C-alpha cells in the first residue's frame, strides 16, 4: 500500500497578520474595535476559549454553571443583545474554576489570529 502525505497548500492572497496591518492603516475604526473590543465581546471570547480548552459543549457548560444552554448561546452570540447578570458570570466562572473578572478581562483580537 502506498503512503500519501498531506501537502500544505498555500492559498493566494494576504495573511491574516497582513490584513490586520492593512486595517490599521486604512480602517483605523475597525482596527480599534478589534484592539479594544466591547466588554460583551471580551466575555464571549473568553467564555468560548475556556469552553474549547475544557472541551465542554454549550449544554455541558450550562449544566455546570446552573444556567440554561440558551444563556451560554446568548453570551457567545454577542449580537443577541443579552446582558448577563453577575450571578450568571459568577456561575460560569465557577464552572471553569476561574475568577469572574477573568471572564471579562480585555482581549486584543488583533493578536489572536
Residue 8: what pLDDT?
54
Burial degree of 88 (CB within 10 A; 0-12, 13-18, 19+): buried
Three-class SS of 22-48: HHHHHCHHHHHHHHCCCHHHHHHHHHH
Report the distance separating Cα 68 and Cα 97, nearest Å: 19
What would the mean pLDDT of 39-53 be, rounded to a whole number?
94
What would the mean pLDDT of 3-31 be, rounded to a whole number?
72
Using the predicted structure, report yes or no on whether residue 70 has a pLDDT greater than 60.
yes
pLDDT level of residue 28 (50, 70, 90 thresholds): confident
Reference 68, options 51, 52, 84; nearest CA is 84
pTM over 0.95: no
CATH number at 38-104: 1.10.260.40
Using the predicted structure, report yes or no on whether residue 17 has a pLDDT greater than 70.
yes
Using the predicted structure, report yes or no on whether residue 11 has a pLDDT greater than 50.
no
Break the chain into its structural domains and give their ranges. 38-104
Amino acid at each position: 500500500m502506498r503512503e500519501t502525505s498531506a501537502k500544505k497548500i498555500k492559498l493566494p492572497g494576504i495573511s491574516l497578520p497582513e490584513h490586520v496591518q492593512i486595517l490599521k492603516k486604512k480602517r483605523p475604526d475597525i482596527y480599534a474595535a478589534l484592539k479594544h473590543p466591547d466588554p460583551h465581546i471580551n466575555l464571549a471570547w473568553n467564555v468560548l476559549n475556556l469552553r474549547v480548552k475544557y472541551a465542554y459543549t454549550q449544554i455541558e457548560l450550562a449544566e455546570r454553571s446552573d444556567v440554561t444552554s440558551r444563556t451560554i448561546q446568548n453570551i457567545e452570540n454577542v449580537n443577541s443583545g443579552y446582558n448577563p447578570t453577575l450571578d450568571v458570570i459568577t456561575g460560569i466562572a465557577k464552572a471553569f474554576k476561574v475568577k469572574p473578572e477573568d471572564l471579562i478581562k480585555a482581549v486584543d483580537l488583533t493578536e489572536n489570529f
